[in-house]
Structure 1
Amino acid sequence: MQHFDILIVGGGMAGATAALAISKLNADYNIGVVEAFAPKDNTHPSFDDRSIALAQQSVCYLEKLGLFEPSWPFVQAIKQVHVSDRGHFGKTQIHHQDYQCEALGYVVEVNPYGAYLHQQLKDAGVTLFCPETIETLTQTIDEVVLTLSAGQTIYTKLMVVADGVQSPTRGLLKLNFNSIAYEQGALIANVKVQDGHNGNAFERFTEHGPMALLPMSDSRYSLVWCMENSQLQQYQNMDAAQFIEQLHNAFGYRAGLFTQVGMRASYPLVLGRVEKVVHHRCLVIGNAAHAIHPIAGQGFNLGLRDIQCLVELLANTNKEQIGGYHFTRRYELSREQDINTVMTLTDSLVRLFSNSSRLIALGRSCGLFAMALSTRLKAPLAKQLMGHVIKGNR
C-alpha cells in the first residue's frame, strides 16, 4: 500500500506536465502517476509524428519550469499566421514582430516530447505506474482509495484526472461529459512543402470547413482538414498523389507546393465539457475536462492553464488542506471564466465561418480586411492565439 499527496491519472502530455510542475513547486510532495500506455522510446521525430501547438504564454510557462527549449529538433517556431476565407476578399496576417516576441507560438511533435517528459518524471522521483489502469475507486472523507489492475491498492489526498477525452476515470466518478457533435470530422496528416515554410502557419476557412497548416521541422506542415464526416474515409483512402491534388484544390498554393503526405488519420469533432471539473478530492483537467474544435489550436494550451491554476493553488495551500472542499471549490471558480471564454470563442468561429449567408460572408471579409489594415484591430485575435486570456478571479 502506498500513500500519495497527489495522484495523477493519465501520463500523457497534460498528466506528465502536471506531475512535473507540481514536483518543481515542492519536492516534498509525494506524487504518483498512473498511465495505461508505455511511451515510445523515441526522442527523434519521424515524418508521421503528431504535433500540438503551444501558444506563447504556454511556452513562457514551460520554459520557467525547464521543460521547453526552442532549439530542440522536434520544435518549430510559428512566426506568422495567415487567416483567409476562401472565395472572399478578406484576409489578414499576424506577425510576431508586431507583438515584440520571438514567435507567436511553437509546434511540438508529441512522441519525442512525450518521451522527454517521461524521462523527466523518472529524474524527478515521481512514482510511475505504467502500463497500469484503475480497476476500482472509492472516495472517503480524507482520501481516495484506488485499486490498480495489477491488484495494488494506493491512497491519495487529491486525485487529478488527466486521462483524455475518453477518460474512463470520469466513468468511475460517475461524471457526465456533455458534448455536442459538429457535423464534421478532422483529417490529420503531415505534408512536406517544396521550398520550406519559413515559420508560416495558415488558417483557411472554406465552404466545406476550416483548414489549418502548422509549420514543423524538416519543411513539413501539420495539416488539420475539417470536412463532412461522409468525406473522411474517401480522403483517407486516396493515394498520395490524388490527395495532394485535392489538398491544392481546396487550399491553393499560398503555402507552397506540397510534395509528400504521410499517414492520414481522422477523429470526430465535438464541443464537450465535463459536468463538473471537481468531485470529492478530485479535479478534472485537460481533454478529460473539455473538448474544443481545433480551429485555433487552443486545446493543450487550455489544459496547460488548468495545470498553472492547480500549481498556484497548491503554492497557497497548506499540505494538510490539499484535496479538501475549499481547495477544489477554489479551483472550480478559478477555471470557469477561461474555459467558458475559449469554448465560446472557438465554437463561434466555427459557426461564423461555416455560415453560407452572403451577408455574413461580406461581414467576415470586411472584418478580416480591417484587421489587415490595423494592428490594433487584430490584437484581440493575436492575444488569443498567443494564449493571453482572462483567467478569472482567484
Structure 2
Amino acid sequence: MQQFDILIVGGGMAGATAALAINKLDANYKIAVVEAFTPKSNVHPSFDDRSIALAHQSVDYLARLGLFKAQWPFAQPIKQVNVSDRGHFGKTQINHQDHHCDALGYVVEVNPYGAFLHQQLIDAGVSLFCPANVAKLTLCQSHVDVTLNDEQQLRAKLLVVADGAYSPTRDLLNLSFNGSAYEQGALIANVEVQGGHSGKAFERFTEHGPMALLPMSENRYSLVWCMPQAQLEQYKHMPAEQFIAELHDAFGYRAGLFTQVGMRASYPLVLGRVDKIVSHRSIVIGNAAHAIHPIAGQGFNLGVRDIQCLVALLASADKEALGEYVFTRKYEQSRQQDINTVMTLTDSLVRLFSNSSRLMALGRSCGLFAMALSSRLKAPLAKQLMGHVSKGNIE
C-alpha cells in the first residue's frame, strides 16, 4: 500500500494544475496523480489544435505558479472583446486599456499546454500513475484506499476528483450528476482569417444560438458555433467553401475574411453539476463538478478557482485535519457562491439571447447600447469575463 497525503484522479488540465499548485504551496506534501492517458510528447503545433480561454485572473494566478508565460508560441492575448446581437442595433466592446492590463485574457492551445503540464509533474517529483485507471475505492475513517486497474494500491488522506465531465470516479463515490441538455450543440473548428485578428475576440448572438471567435496564433480563430442539434451534422460535413460562406452569412465580415477552415467537431451542451462537490475525504473539481455553456468562456476558469480555493484551505489547515469533514465542508461552502453565480449567468445569457420576442430583443439592444456608452454599466460584464469575481475563501 503506497501512502500519500493527496491523491488526484485525473491528470488533465485541472488535475495537473491542482497537483502543481499544491506542490508549490508545500513540497512536503506527498501527492499522487492517476491519469488514464499519456500525453503526446514533442507536440508539434497543428492547424486543428483545440484551445481554451484563460481569464485575466486565471493567467495572473498561473503565472505566479510558473505555469503560464505570455511568450509561449501557443498562447495568444485577447486585447478586445466585441459583443453583438445579430439583426439588432445593440453592441459593445471591452478593451484591455480600459482595465489597465496587457490583455483581458489569453487563448491557449490545449495539446502543447497539456504536454507542458505533464512534464512539470515529472520535474516536480509528483508520483504519476499513467496510464492508469481507478478500479476500486474504499472509504475509511482516516483515509481513502484506491486500487488501480493494474492492481497497485494507493492510500491518501484526501481524494481530489478531476477526471472530467464523464468522471468514472464520481460514480464510484455514488455522486450523481444532475444535468439538463440544451437544445443546442456546439460546433468547434479553427478558421484562418486574412490579415490577422489583432487580438480581437467576438461573441455574437444569433437567433439559432451564440457564436464565439477567439484569437489564436498564426492568423487563426478558434470558432465555437452553437446551433440546433439537427443542424450540427449538416454543418460538420459541409464542403469547406460552403461552410465559410455560411459562417460569413451568420457572422458578417467584422472579424475579417475567413480563408480556411480546419477539422470540425461537435459536442452536446449541458448545464449541470454534481449533487455534492464533496464526499467523505473527497472533493470534486473542474468539469467533474460542473458543466456550463461555453457562451462566455468560463469553464476552465471556474476550475482554476476551484483549485485556488483548495490551495487556500490547505495553506491554513492543520496537516492532520487534511480531508476531515471540517476541511471538506469549508471547501463546499467556499465554492458555492461562485459556482452558482457562473452557472446562473451563463444560462441566463443563453436564454435571454435565444428569445425571439421583439420586446426582449429591444431590451437586449438597449442594454448593449447602454454598455457601449457607460463604462460603469459595462464593468460587471468585464469583471466576470476577466475572472475578477467573489470566489469565497481564496486569496
Which bracket does the TM-score occupy, shorter chain normalised?
A: over 0.9
The residue identity in structure 2 corresponding to 1:200 is K
SS at match of 1:123: helix
Give the match for residue 260 of structure 2.
260
SS at match of 1:190: strand
Q: CA contact under 8 A between 2:159 and 2:283: conserved in structure 1?
A: yes
Give the match for residue 80 of structure 1.
80
CA distance in 1, matches of 2:7, 2:167: 15
Give the match for residue 59 of structure 1.
59
Give the match for residue 230 of structure 2.
230
Give the match for residue 24 of structure 2.
24
Q: CA contact under 8 A between 2:208 and 2:228: conserved in structure 1?
A: yes
* 2:306 aligned with 1:303: no
TM-score (norm 2): 0.99
Consecutive unaligned residues of structure 1, counting only runs of 5 or more, are none
Give the match for residue 183 of structure 2.
183
Give the match for residue 171 of structure 1.
171
**Residues 192-220 of structure 1, C-alpha deviation per residue, up to 9 Å, x if partnerless?**
00110000000000011000000000000
**Residues 325-374 of structure 1, C-alpha deviation per residue, up to 9 Å, x if partnerless?**
00000000000000000000000000000000000000000000011111
**Residues 105-128 of structure 1, C-alpha deviation per residue, up to 9 Å, x if partnerless?**
000000000000000000000011
CA distance in 2, matches of 1:353, 1:119: 42
CA distance in 2, matches of 1:42, 1:185: 33
Give the match for residue 42 of structure 2.
42
The residue identity in structure 2 corresponding to 1:260 is Q
CA distance in 2, matches of 1:64, 1:148: 34
CA distance in 1, matches of 2:266, 2:168: 21
**Residues 8-52 of structure 1, C-alpha deviation per residue, up to 9 Å, x if partnerless?**
000000000000000000000000000001111134421111000
* 2:343 aligned with 1:339: no
CA distance in 2, matches of 1:393, 1:337: 11
SS at match of 2:327: helix
Alignment of 1:314-393 (within 5 A): 314-392=314-392
Give the ranges of 4+ consecutive aligned residues of structure 1 lying more than 4 Å apart after TM superposition.
Answer: none
Give the match for residue 108 of structure 2.
108
Q: CA contact under 8 A between 1:80 and 1:199: conserved in structure 2?
A: yes
**Residues 107-152 of structure 1, C-alpha deviation per residue, up to 9 Å, x if partnerless?**
0000000000000000000011111001110100011111100011
CA distance in 2, matches of 1:264, 1:40: 21
CA distance in 2, matches of 1:392, 1:12: 25
The residue identity in structure 1 corresponding to 2:322 is I
Work out the number of aligned pairs and report it: 394
The residue identity in structure 1 corresponding to 2:269 is L
Give the match for residue 3 of structure 2.
3
* 2:127 aligned with 1:131: no
CA distance in 2, matches of 1:59, 1:379: 19
The residue identity in structure 1 corresponding to 2:228 is E
Q: CA contact under 8 A between 1:188 and 1:265: conserved in structure 2?
A: yes
Q: CA contact under 8 A between 1:90 and 1:366: conserved in structure 2?
A: yes
CA distance in 2, matches of 1:43, 1:301: 24
The residue identity in structure 2 corresponding to 1:189 is A
Against the structure 1 CA distance between its residues 49 and 330, is the aligned structure 2 distance closer, same or farther, given a 3 Å change threshold?
same
CA distance in 2, matches of 1:375, 1:42: 45
Give the match for residue 198 of structure 2.
198
SS at match of 2:73: coil
Q: CA contact under 8 A between 1:43 and 1:113: conserved in structure 2?
A: no
Give the match for residue 284 of structure 1.
284
- Offset at residue 393 of structure 1 (A): 5.6
Give the match for residue 214 of structure 2.
214
Against the structure 1 CA distance between its residues 270 and 201, is the aligned structure 2 distance closer, same or farther, given a 3 Å change threshold?
same
The residue identity in structure 2 corresponding to 1:204 is R
Q: CA contact under 8 A between 2:277 and 2:332: conserved in structure 1?
A: yes
Give the match for residue 145 of structure 1.
145
**Residues 64-85 of structure 1, C-alpha deviation per residue, up to 9 Å, x if partnerless?**
1011000100000000000000
Consecutive unaligned residues of structure 2, counting only runs of 5 or more, are none
Q: CA contact under 8 A between 1:9 and 1:15: conserved in structure 2?
A: yes
**Residues 304-323 of structure 1, C-alpha deviation per residue, up to 9 Å, x if partnerless?**
00000000000001111100
Q: CA contact under 8 A between 1:42 and 1:111: conserved in structure 2?
A: no
- Offset at residue 164 of structure 1 (A): 0.4
CA distance in 2, matches of 1:358, 1:42: 53
- Offset at residue 184 of structure 1 (A): 0.5
SS at match of 1:223: strand
**Residues 172-195 of structure 1, C-alpha deviation per residue, up to 9 Å, x if partnerless?**
011000001100100000000011
Q: CA contact under 8 A between 1:44 and 1:74: conserved in structure 2?
A: no
The residue identity in structure 2 corresponding to 1:184 is Q
The residue identity in structure 2 corresponding to 1:357 is S
Across the aligned residues of Structure 1 and Structure 2, the Cα RMSD in angstroms comes to 0.8
Q: CA contact under 8 A between 1:44 and 1:73: conserved in structure 2?
A: no
**Residues 235-291 of structure 1, C-alpha deviation per residue, up to 9 Å, x if partnerless?**
111111111111111111100000011111000001010000000000000000000
SS at match of 1:120: helix
The residue identity in structure 2 corresponding to 1:202 is F
Q: CA contact under 8 A between 2:194 and 2:256: conserved in structure 1?
A: yes
CA distance in 1, matches of 2:151, 2:264: 38
Q: CA contact under 8 A between 2:312 and 2:393: conserved in structure 1?
A: no
Percent of pairs identical after alignment? 77
CA distance in 1, matches of 2:345, 2:275: 19
Q: CA contact under 8 A between 2:188 and 2:224: conserved in structure 1?
A: yes
CA distance in 1, matches of 2:42, 2:161: 26
The residue identity in structure 2 corresponding to 1:11 is G
